[in-house]
Amino acid sequence: MAAAILTATASDLGARIAARELTAVEVTRAFLDQIGRVDGAVHAFLHVDAEGALAQARGVDERLDAGEALGPLAGVPLALKDLFCQEGVPTTAASRMLEGWRPPYSATVTQRLLDAGVVILGKTNLDEFAMGSSTETSAFGPTYNPWDLARIPGGSGGGSAAALASFEAPLAVGTDTGGSIRQPGAVTGTVGVKPTYGGTSRFGVIAMASSLDQPGPCARTVLDAALLHAIIAGHDPQDSTSIDAPVPPVVEAARSGDVAGMRIGVVTELGGEGYDPGVLRRFTEGVAHLRAAGAEIVDVSCPHFRYALGAYYLIMPSEVSSNLARYDAIRYGRRVGDDGTRSTEEVMRLTRGDAFGDEVKRRIIIGTYALSSGYYDAYYGSAQKVRTLIARDFEAAFAQVDVLVSPSTPTTAFKIGERTDDLLAMYASDLCTIPANMAGVPAGSFPCGLSPEDGLPVGLQVMAPPLADDRVYRVGAALERALAAPDGGVLSDRLAPRWTPDAPKEA
């Protein structure tokens, strides 16, 4: 019974709980037991709220037994990235700066999950303050990829993706600033979607770069991600960037998966030199499946995408410098060296030096420099101009095609420690995902098989116009359906994850 629960889709679990074939409590216990079995090796979670999760599950069971109609994911457990405030539950952003902090309120996304009856198992690991591409910068240690414990699970949301891939949760929520949902999804063989900027609320989410951050769903199937998207999305007056518009019909699109007649553009700038041959092979095969499903495939050039990485690493650190200025040992976070003899400035210096990790310090310094007098126009101002050109590339492309596709990442999961001393290689992990954040368009990563070179998951990225999130799910569902079909060709035996949930793969 436990294995059947762990490997079931979230939509199936929700339906069986609603039909009272399963109780929310027994489903929650199954996943808590799985966390106990494998998380010592994977380290997906920073905090497991077993007591709180079981209490939430009991509440769902009581409401269902009383005849109350609940949503399709009521009683289904979820792993929550440790950037989302949850009242009374430790929330750290994987930083010593916030160690031990328990928020007095919940983020809008967190509250919508609870209102929908979704059971929150606990908080997942991430790169400190979401700054990283490998979940190696966490102050509490790295997370490991369940496919190969010697490799990274992506970042910054590696904990959420690893929890899915190791069957510790059927659902997860992450945030995506430059690929932090999609890149982990790609390298763990899971589904991750970044909604249109403003489509999900940032209220109560610890900020990294406010013009880029966006919460989004993570799951093992396209439909599960869409059902979760429908719960967390929608206008929020507490977020000034929230879009006051209907949520796109993502669930209907995920159920349909009909791409007949769609024009799909392959971005020519996102491929070629620097990309693993195995990644390109699986991507090409995935595109062929979409063509076989009735889509028209064309090549599309987005010439300014090649400048996205450089521009991003000026805009993002600038916003980091501004957002993290609040952690000054006076208003927020921990305080070091305040023995009554030191000045405020010295306490601030000691605190920030002690509580921030190296990558956080690096980005604060870069951002402060880029915003400084005499350099603002040359760096930050110029990067914003590039951002406009990238947005125009998207506009021109979407005048020709319905969606754009590319590999989600240039490579499969690299080994722990392999890029910690090579920052350019580390930052290049987000080469394919950053343009969508710069323009605010929706994008998702969907499994398209395992690389023939190393047997590790490969992701195919789908990008759509603003507020056309449903197109992302429609294409993702078509790909998922093609790969799952008995006649799915060479990819049918390469779906992820295939290994038993009893334990993660050995390093």
Indicate which residues carry an active-site annotation: 81, 156, 180
Q: How far apart are CA 28 and CA 500, in angstroms?
A: 19
Comparing C-alpha atoms, which of 385, 437, 394 is closest to residue 301?
Answer: 394
Q: Which of 274, 283, 285, 218 is nearest to 411 (CA)?
A: 274
| 444 touches 472 (CB < 8 A) | yes
Q: Do residues 291 and 263 make contact, with C-beta atoms less than 8 angstroms apart?
A: no
Torsion of Cα atoms, 31 then 37 then 38 then 43, to 10°:
80
Q: Is 119 helix (H, G, I), strand (E, B) or coil?
A: strand
Distance CA 160, CA 79 (A): 6
Interior CA angle at 184 toward 200 and 12, to 5°? 70
What would the two tokens of residue 246 be?
A: 């209907």
Q: First vs last Cα of the chain: how many Å apart?
A: 28
Burial 341-353 (b: 16+ CB within 10 A, else e): eeeeeebbebbbe
116 with 73: CB under 8 angstroms?
yes
The number of beta carbons lying within 10 Å of the beta carbon of residue 36 is 12
Residue type, 105: Y
**Integer Rg of the chain from CA:** 21
Instruction: Tabulate helix, strand, coil % of the chain (nearest 5).
Output: 45, 15, 45
